[in-house]
Amino acid sequence: MVKQEQVVCITGASRGFGEAAARELAQRGHLVVATMRSPDRDGPTVLKGLPQEEADRISVTSCDVTGRDSIAAAVQFALDRHGRIDTLFNNAGYGLYGPVEDFRDEEILRQFDTNFIGQIRMAQAVLPSMRDHGSGKIINVSSLAGKIVGPLMGLYAASKYAVEAMSEALRYEVSGWGIQVTILEPGMYQSDWQVASLDVAQTVREGTSVYQTAVDAALAEFRARAATRPGSRTVATSVADIVEMEQPLPMRWPVGEDTEQAIRSRESLTDAQWEAQMRGESTGYRSAFFRAQPGASSQT
């Protein structure tokens, strides 16, 4: 039995981590406001197969984190329905894959508008009500890519590095009102964005990138590896544990053995040692991107 019923607002709840978290929280007896851009299309998927008692705990509504009016309406919906928001799971976002040189301004701006500024907009929208109640939790979704970056993930990682910095500052700023902020850092999972909905640079889609051969090889390897990883349930369990945690939240919450191992490895190496490892010069392993680069056959 749940110790105390919590009201949790989730962005990007139509699939992946958001959908799994909504279902997990409802199963544990919490009230969920599952927001998404297209609730008529995607809402039924969140509720599919749940016992009626659990389905009744999930309210689906529209929210586009790139629009302040949409956010305000979603937050007001939650407050009108439940009177409070105990936790914001700031999850909406997507992956953008490709070489930094290739990205166009509109691709760069859209990535940051959704992954980074969207989180700020949502936090700003829920903080007044949390302050009034003298408590609240904000779970900002970062990534292993918020700590470690490889080729072709530069823009996505940059948006997550920004989330890390913003979230740490926000944590300090709101703590005086009893509001806690933690940074969720999932590794690679078989989530929707890593398998089916990963966005790629337009030049790559068109086949005109000067990096095309290396990108094609790396993208195939990335998707194949993601397809072998566990599903989103592990991340959803962590989110529910954070919601229910009675002790002060840690600043960061890594999820997955790959995240923990990679962070420990990175922290133990110099920049030169880490770069050599990434390129396969010290381990004998080289990712598909480096294997397919011009001159790769002459590299050791």
97, 160, 209, 211: the catalytic one is: 160
| 14 given a catalytic annotation | yes
What the block records as the tokens of 258 is 């790959």
14, 59, 191, 209: the catalytic one is: 14
| 97 given a catalytic annotation | no
Contacts of 77 (CB under 8 A, 6+ apart): 33, 59, 61
| 298 given a catalytic annotation | no
| 167 given a catalytic annotation | no
Three-state SS for 138-172 is EEEECCHHHCCCCCCCHHHHHHHHHHHHHHHHHHH
What the block records as the tokens of 241 is 């544990």
Contacts of 133 (CB under 8 A, 6+ apart): 84
Alpha carbon distances (Å) from 152 to 47, 129, 159, 273, 290: 35, 40, 13, 20, 11
142, 167, 209, 238: the catalytic one is: 142
The residue to which tokens 């599952």 are assigned? 34
Helix residue spans in 196-270 (DSSP H): 202-206, 212-227, 233-244, 257-268
Please state, as a whole number, how many other Cβ atoms lie within 10 Å of the Cβ of residue 137: 20
Nearest residue to 45 (alpha-carbon basis) of 192, 216, 247: 192
Cα 228 off chain centre by: 19
What the block records as the tokens of 21 is 């978290």
- Report the alpha-carbon distance of residue 6 to residue 50 in Å, rounded: 19
156, 161, 189, 211: the catalytic one is: 156
- Report the alpha-carbon distance of residue 137 to residue 174 in Å, rounded: 10
The residue to which tokens 């408590």 are assigned? 135
The catalytic residues are 14, 142, 156, 160
